[in-house]
Amino acid sequence: MIKDILIAQKQELEKKTGELYIERFTDIKKLENPLIKVIIGPRRSGKSFFALHFLAKEKNFGYINFDDERLIEVRDYDSIIEAMNSIYKNPEFILFDEIQNLPKWELFANRLQRQNLKLIITGSNSKLLSKELATHLTGRHLLINIFPFSFKEYIKLEDKELTSHQIKEKLDNYLIYGGYPEPLIKNIDHKEYLSTLFNSIIYKDIVKRYKIRLAQKVEELAFYLMSNIANEYSYNKLSKMTNIGSVHTIQKYLSYLEEAFIFFSLTRFSYKVKEQLSSNKKIYCIDNGLMQANAFKLSPDFGKLYENTVAIELKKREMDRKINIYYWKNQQNEEVDFILKEGAKVKQLIQVCFDIKDIKTKNREIRALLKAGNELKCRNLLVINSYKDGEEDADWFGIKAKIKFIPLWKWLLK
């Protein structure tokens, strides 16, 4: 039976290798490292395709996809390896897809690495993977993050040079439809695909895995958050808005949604850890298309889409351990969207403003930047917007600084 399953998977794999591949802006040479390569990211974001692109270049490799309930039931893991060796003729490399579904996978992977096999494993649950990696594979693994297409990768679909005007037009589509590879490459209906994907993640990766009895409550929370992207939240407020009585249950469900790479949260910046922990957080979605397909909204809110897009790009940098990101808010409820911190130092403050033609809006955004910059001792102040490019001198009651402006499309391609 195991051999039949793996043969069927191999046949599916052979179809995949003939599909269009868009090169990712992640160093593929990392996969040559002798350590266990762990590729994490949202379901259907292209993790296995990224690995396959590397392995297909004259590598002798085997493939096992653990997103199959029949394999999860198998307790003799050696029988799985025996079947794979038979089909793939004792491969040098092994790609394990969605390995978090396999009980005690980390011990299995550890044992195979000690046998000098070169492992590449993928997973769609950040906490399960990171927890087990930290416990059992310390110092013996290399983490690689793969998200849906960035705008840079999305532009590569055209396979030709584009004018600035054409790039701006592409940005509008990207903001609404997002970067999930399959609907873009195969011209599948975005809304239907992303709605189905969303339901699959909720029920397969959360409800089934954590044996949640009231599945509709998780779904209600997810839909509510989808419709309130870039807004602050507290566990108490979420409890009232979703009729989930327990704050503890809200915390648990939200952690599951974040572990499954649907949402991520930003903490309010403070030098005091207690204040950070007690303050409201802000919620963002891992992909604009996923948000648009599942939110209770009829028309796009480009202000929210701009902010969410910037949040995603910054989150990638944070997951690559380049920066830490926060938002800033003072007692007057003036706010800066993103605070970028490297080590102990605040490196940059970013406001995202879709339309700064309105003078009141522009002044409000700049005033908050100046106040935050003054408080945090940071002079690197940026406004990401729809059209303005350049610098301006700004002054607010003696607080002076240069404000940089950059259009979103240009910032995303830098």
Per-residue pLDDT tens for 67-121?
998 998 898 999 999 999 999 999 989 999 998 888 888 889 889 988 989 999 9
**Could you tell me if 98 and 23 lie in one domain?**
yes
Domain count, the chain: 3
pLDDT at residue 187, as a whole number? 87
Q: What angle (nearest 5°) sits at the alpha carbon of residue 152, between those of residues 149 and 156?
A: 85
Centroid of chain to Cα 405: 26
**Could you tell me if 254 and 333 lie in one domain?**
no
- Joined together, the tokens standing for residue 208 give 């089934």
**Domain end point (choices 128, 146, 164):** 146
Domain extent at residue 342: 323-414
pTM: 0.94
The answer as to whether 230 is a domain residue is: yes
pLDDT tens for 376-405 read 999 999 999 999 999 999 998 889 999 999
**Could you tell me if 287 and 339 lie in one domain?**
no
**Could you tell me if 121 and 156 lie in one domain?**
no
Centroid of chain to Cα 353: 22
The answer as to whether 317 is a domain residue is: no
pLDDT at residue 132, as a whole number? 67
The answer as to whether 388 is a domain residue is: yes
**Domain end point (choices 234, 269, 302):** 302
**Could you tell me if 402 and 334 lie in one domain?**
yes
pLDDT at residue 393, as a whole number? 95
pLDDT tens for 8-37 read 999 998 888 878 888 898 888 888 888 899
Give the position of tokens 């490297």. 342
| Inter-axis angle of helices 215-226 and 235-242, nearest 10 | 110
**Domain end point (choices 111, 146, 181):** 146
Q: What angle (nearest 5°) sits at the alpha carbon of residue 129, between those of residues 150 and 307?
A: 30
**Could you tell me if 269 and 336 lie in one domain?**
no
Asked if the model's pLDDT at residue 136 lies above 90, the reply is: no
Percent of the chain with pLDDT over 90: 72
**Could you tell me if 83 and 162 lie in one domain?**
no
**Could you tell me if 292 and 154 lie in one domain?**
yes
pLDDT tens for 149-190 read 999 999 999 888 999 999 999 999 999 999 999 999 998 999
Instruction: State how far the Cα of 190 lies from the Cα of 235, in Å rounded to an integer.
Output: 31
**Could you tell me if 404 and 274 lie in one domain?**
no
pLDDT at residue 20, as a whole number? 84
**Could you tell me if 261 and 348 lie in one domain?**
no
Is residue 131 within 8 A of residue 259, CB to CB? The reply is: no
The answer as to whether 238 is a domain residue is: yes
Nearest to 3 by CA among 48, 70, 98: 70
pLDDT tens for 214-257 read 899 999 999 999 999 999 999 999 999 988 879 999 999 999 99
Residues 68-107, buried b or exposed e (16+ Cβ, 10 A)? beebeebeebeebbebbeebbeebebbbbbbbbbbeebbe
**Could you tell me if 122 and 39 lie in one domain?**
yes
Nearest to 412 by CA among 161, 145, 172: 172
pLDDT at residue 89, as a whole number? 94
